Amino acid sequence: MAFRGCRYCFVLLLFAFTFPAIQSQTAAYQNSALPVDQRVADLLNRMTLEEKVTMLAGAGWMESPPIERLGIPSIKMADGPMGVRSWMGSSALTSSLSNPVKVESTAFPSGIAMASTWDVDLVQREGKAIAQEVKALGRDMILGPTVNINRVPLWGRNFEGYGEDPYLSGQLAVAYIHGVQGEGVIPSAKHFDANNQEFERHRIDEKIDERTLHEIYLPAFKAAVQQGGVWNVMSCYNLVNGKHCAESDYLLADVLKKEFGFKGFVVSDWASTYSTAGTVNAGMDLEMPGGPPMQKMLARPQTQEQGSSGGWLVADKVLAEIKAGRISEATINDNVGRILRVIILSGLMDHPHTAGGEVDTPEQQAIARQGATEGIVLLKNEGSLLPLDSAKIHSIAVIGSNAVFARTGGGGSSRVQPKYAVSPLEGIQKRAASTVQVTSALGVGMEGEDPAHDTAEARANDLKQAAEIAAKADVAVVVVGRYWRNESEGFDVRTMDLPAGQDELIQAVERANPRTIVILNTGDPVTMTKWLDNTPALLDMWYGGQEAGNALAAILFGNANPSGKLPVSFPKKLEDSPAYGHYPGENLHVDYAEGIYVGYRYYDTKNVEPQFPFGFGLSYTTFEYGNLKVYPSIIQQMGEKPGHGYLATLTVTNKGQRAGAEVIQLYVHDGHSKIDRPVHELKAFKRVELKPGESKIVHFSGDLSAFEYWSPQTKQWTHDPGTFEIQVGASSRDIRLKAPVQITR
């Protein structure tokens, strides 16, 4: 009996000593102290092939499949990038009255409005605030930022992106990504690559040369990967050079994963896959959507009509291709390992997000308001009509359907449903209080919104009423633009002209009251030639989110000083656009024949005068630039060999009586290149806030990339040694200072 007891004790002791080792061996992937790659490798070793291939296709509309046996969570996604919207279906469903799940969150300003701030710190705070709301709603991933380039003024999603310049777009994308990922939420840099039109977006084949891709359409994604460390990239619908992006081994494998060094996972845009082996082997890691929502979507006739496709990466199809030898298990391990890596890096494996936090907090509202305010661009201010002096102004007529109704953003998957939204009229009324009388009129109904105001007779009556109240007021404010049903994902804007009746509205009001302020409330440039010469003051408020009305009122009355700068050139007419004649294409093919000459690169190089140039924006004060000094330098990036670059300093002084912010823009001119190059390119910028009379020294530094171009011959970045010119200015056409810098090999 004693012997048996001792034997029993021995077994217990042996188990006690060996159990920790067994537990450690079986749960290494659960040990947060271990390196990420070790945890991923451990998980892959434990997964069956069937479990691995299951992870390649979505489980629902916005969810990746979990592997419950191993505790691998589903990635729960939500549309963005300007806030969190319902994840229960397509934008057509979630924007309708029959939306099954109502999700209300902060409607932040549109991407183009945030780009107009040129404020990387603010964009990072916006990303952080959006990520906090993602977590509060129990989601894990936000589908943004949109970093596609504004190639044509008519693209239906221009309002989502950061404008026409790849450097500006890239730096703002990096800021947004840092804000989101800092909260343990997964951002998605989209849409890779060259999603620049909605017309036939599922089937259009874009012919783009390799240099143009690398200099214009890839740099923002490169910055997102190499500077932002982004965890996810979304592929796009369109074809590039004959291949759908979801199965382009050149774009996904060669450029994104090898050249850029992307370590995260690639997700398809919804219903944009067209094969199994080709898509997996190209580098697609997760097909969306999946499960019953995918089957329901594919059953709709319109899905096939528009060229959508999906359901190619479901487990049985992938397993069949593996069995046939067309997909290797090593490829599957790479695909799945990338997803696992992000799940672990983001903290989802160790600390899954649970719903229940607060959304649309005062802090989040403040960020939205600051973004809307800083993003407003003052384009014209003759006779210093602005800011309005409430001691001298006793009455204001506020006119326009976009004045009466809050137009927070464009349409499609980015459209957010806020708890409240402040219209321009409401913002002005609140600011005016009892000191200024505010009257209002519809002016003209929004085209296609209300049939009762779409007739010729109704428009005539609305115009008459608008002119009457304008004539009686000290100042008239006319807000014009579009709204989410005529500027949206899924289709391009038909014309650069304002919607029907709005040009006539501006003209009628200006005849009635020469002290008329015109406000643009849209995401694209518009034609202004019919009325601009008679307009003393012009502002662009873009789609400013839920706080846009308050922001506009603060600018109008001088509580805030406008500091926005255009992130996109405004052509006088569509025919002046560099892509004119090469959009939207013919027979499902479009040639990017303008090449690298997009936006100001075209206007400034070819001497085509825009209505308003890239980087332009006025202030209620004036800034003086001086004392530019530029030096060649040796720059060493972490982990890289030292390389040549530049250092630049200048002094900026606020010469006016109001505090204000100036965006100093640095361009590089290469006058000796062996290859055709734009007259100059943006390579740095800084937003500086200055009190009246205050001066600050502004510092810039850059590496060799500021002087490089993509060589089609060597297929790499290169430069021609010699003397370059550093140009510093307030817009691409307002260069204040220049200095040479010698760059050698």
Assign residue 181 the CATH number of its domain: 3.20.20.300
Q: 269 catalytic, yes or no?
A: yes
The pLDDT value recorded for residue 143 is: 98
The pLDDT value recorded for residue 92 is: 72
589 in a structural domain: no
The pLDDT value recorded for residue 14 is: 42
Kindly state the average pLDDT of the residues 282-309: 94
**643: domain range?**
623-743
The pLDDT value recorded for residue 87 is: 86
With b for 16 or more beta-carbon neighbours within 10 A and e for fewer, the 347-382 pattern comes to ebbeeebeeeeebbeeebbebbbbbbbbbbbbbbbe
| CB 639 within 8 Å of CB 657 | no
What pTM did the predictor assign?
A: 0.95
CA distances from 188 to 48, 126, 694 (A): 28, 15, 40
691 and 551 fall within a common domain? no
pLDDT digits (tens, 9 = 90+) for 183-229: 999 999 999 999 999 999 999 999 999 999 999 999 999 999 999 99
pLDDT digits (tens, 9 = 90+) for 550-604: 999 999 999 999 999 999 999 999 999 999 999 999 999 999 999 999 999 999 9
Q: Interior CA angle at 220 toward 698 and 525, to 5°?
A: 85
- At residue 90 the predicted structure's pLDDT band, cuts being 50, 70 and 90, is confident
- At residue 3 the predicted structure's pLDDT band, cuts being 50, 70 and 90, is very low
**Hey, what are 299's tokens?**
């059953």
d(CA 602, CA 165): 12
3-state secondary structure of 18: helix
**Percentage of the residues of the chain whose pLDDT score is greater than 90:** 89
Average pLDDT score, the chain: 94
600 in a structural domain: no
| 377 secondary structure, DSSP code | E
The DSSP result for 284-337, as a single string, is --BBSS-HHHHHHHHTSHHHHHTT-B---SSHHHHHHHHHTTSS-HHHHHHHHH
Angle subtended by helix axes 424-432 and 548-556, to nearest 10? 50
The pLDDT value recorded for residue 91 is: 74
351 in a structural domain: no
263 and 318 fall within a common domain? yes
233 and 268 fall within a common domain? yes
- At residue 636 the predicted structure's pLDDT band, cuts being 50, 70 and 90, is low
Residue 305 CB partners (closer than 8 Å, separation 6+) = none
The DSSP result for 465-496, as a single string, is HHHHHHHHSSEEEEEEE--TTTSBTTB--S-S
d(CA 565, CA 187): 26
Kindly state the average pLDDT of the residues 335-348: 98
Kindly state the average pLDDT of the residues 112-122: 98
End-to-end Cα distance, the chain? 87
Which of 137-146, 263-272, 474-483, 641-650 has the weakest average pLDDT? 641-650
Assign residue 377 the CATH number of its domain: 3.40.50.1700
Tell me the backbone φ, ψ of residue 155, rounded to 5 degrees: -60, 130
pLDDT digits (tens, 9 = 90+) for 694-708: 999 999 999 999 999
Model confidence at 735: pLDDT above 80: yes
431 and 521 fall within a common domain? yes
**Hey, what are 382's tokens?**
């003759």
**Percentage of the residues of the chain whose pLDDT score is greater than 70:** 95
**Hey, what are 531's tokens?**
């009325």
556 and 683 fall within a common domain? no
- At residue 12 the predicted structure's pLDDT band, cuts being 50, 70 and 90, is very low
- At residue 10 the predicted structure's pLDDT band, cuts being 50, 70 and 90, is very low
The pLDDT value recorded for residue 11 is: 40
Catalytic, out of 79, 119, 269, 576 = 269
2 in a structural domain: yes
Which stretch of DSSP H or E encloses residue 398? strand 395-399
Kindly state the average pLDDT of the residues 674-681: 96
145 and 252 fall within a common domain? yes
Q: Could you say which of 533, 568, 603 is where a domain stops?
A: 568
pLDDT digits (tens, 9 = 90+) for 19-57: 444 444 568 999 999 999 999 999 999 999 999 999 999
157 and 224 fall within a common domain? yes
